[in-house]
Amino acid sequence: MHKNNIIGWVGLGVMGEPMCRHLLDAGYQLAIYSRTRDKACHLVDAGARWCDSPSVLTELCDVIFTMVGTGDEVRDVYFSERGLFQVEIAGKVFIDMGTTAPALTAEITTYADEHGAACIDAPVSGGDVGARNASLSIMAGGQAAVIDKVKPLFDCMGKVQHMGDEGSGQHTKMCNQITVAGTMIGVCEALIYAQRAGLDAEKMIAVVSRGAAGCWTLDNLAPRMIRQDYAPGFMVDHFIKDLGIAIDEMKVMGLELPGLSLAIKLYQKVSELGHGASGTQALILALQQCEDDAGF
């Protein structure tokens, strides 16, 4: 991608803002939109151009990224009366980097195809740490030639892997979230066990992370649990949304995944405890309560 091209970006949350900033820092011209304009102030000060609506952004840009939360928000960004698809889109590339239901991804892709545009579903893994450090794992579904064309942009945020046709990125993200959910339960239970056994939790993490139990969750989120730091790198309610997508796909496929079913129940409990806006590491609060809640 030539750096004289203006790149569009919609969504400036915990993940979106640093991802967008990496493109700006790499010398690309940015046009941005967010439902909350205050979130854009620092980027505008750094040289990004503010747009009053997604449709205005589409008119300016040939490549447009979206990084928004719920399915309703994704649909609104693309299809509302001020959405990305309300102007001429032929020849443009739309890249959804959020976690979106495969059925909605297919709907967006079909509309784009019918109007001469291209879509890539490119959800990410790595949390707020990966977003800030430009070390995200990017799972891309779509046409290989289109993904190759925009690879320099992906390289500003992490490492991209082409997973297959449209929707393959989102299905890969479901695999990621299922793995994260099960791992998170194990890490939380290990910390609860360590406390009951009288171990130094930090020493426990240090030693087991060097062995077969080593993982991103243990390295990055277990220390936050010990500090009772539940600030969001990825919010509980957003994770519940993702696991809900995985549950729906599980049913469509005729699968039975008991670990996934348990995980979403536990995270729903975390949200009921008032931590829906906390980070996913707040799962430990629900598991701690389970010690005295035999009826859960």
Q: What is the pLDDT of residues 150-185, one digit of tens each?
A: 999 999 999 999 999 999 999 999 999 999 999 999
Q: What is the pLDDT of residues 52-76, one digit of tens each?
A: 999 999 999 999 999 998 999 999 9
Is the pLDDT at 189 greater than 50? The verdict is: yes
The residues carrying an active-site annotation are 173
Whether residues 232 and 151 fall in one domain: no
3-state SS of the chain is CCCCCEEEEECCCCCHHHHHHHHHHCCCEEEEECCCHHHHHHHHHCCCEECCCHHHHHHHCCEEEECCCCHHHHHHHHHCCCCHHHCCCCCCEEEECCCCCHHHHHHHHHHHHHCCCEEEECCEECHHHHHHHCCEEEEEECCHHHHHHHHHHHHCCEEEEEEECCCHHHHHHHHHHHHHHHHHHHHHHHHHHHHHHCCCHHHHHHHHCCCCCCCHHHHHCHHHHHCCCCCCCCEHHHHHHHHHHHHHHHHHHCCCCHHHHHHHHHHHHHHHHHHCCCEHHHHHHHHHHHCCCCCC
Average pLDDT across the chain, whole number: 94
Give me the CATH number covering residue 17: 3.40.50.720
Answer yes or no: do 85 and 138 share one domain.
yes
Q: Residue 295: its pLDDT value, please?
A: 45
Kindly report, residue by residue over 192-237, the tens digit of the pLDDT.
999 999 999 999 999 999 999 999 999 999 999 999 999 998 999 9
pLDDT the model gives residue 154: 98
Whether residue 74 is found in the same domain as residue 118? yes
Average pLDDT over residues 37-53: 92
Q: Are 142 and 200 contained in the same domain?
A: no
What per-residue confidence (pLDDT) applies to 214? 96
- The domain that holds 202 is classified in CATH as 1.10.1040.10
Question: What is the average per-residue pLDDT within 1-28?
Answer: 91
Last residue of a domain, one of 142, 164, 186: 164
- Domain identity same for 33 and 121: yes
Do 100 and 217 belong to one domain?
A: no
- State residue 290's pLDDT score: 77
* pLDDT at residue 69, rounded to an integer: 84
Domain end position, chosen among 164, 188, 215: 164
pLDDT at 181: 97
Residues 150 and 44 in one domain: yes
For the cut 60, the answer to whether the pLDDT of residue 296 exceeds it is: no
Residue 246 lies in a domain: yes
Overall domain count for the chain:
2
Both 22 and 160 in one domain: the answer is: yes
Q: Is there a domain that residue 1 lies in? A: no
Considering the chain, what percentage of its residues have pLDDT values greater than 70? Answer: 97
Residue 43 has pLDDT above 50, yes or no: yes
Same domain flag for 19 and 143 = yes
pTM above 0.95, yes or no: no
Q: Are residues 158 and 185 in the same domain?
A: no
**Residues 22 and 137 both lie in one domain:** yes
Q: Are residues 190 and 91 in the same domain?
A: no
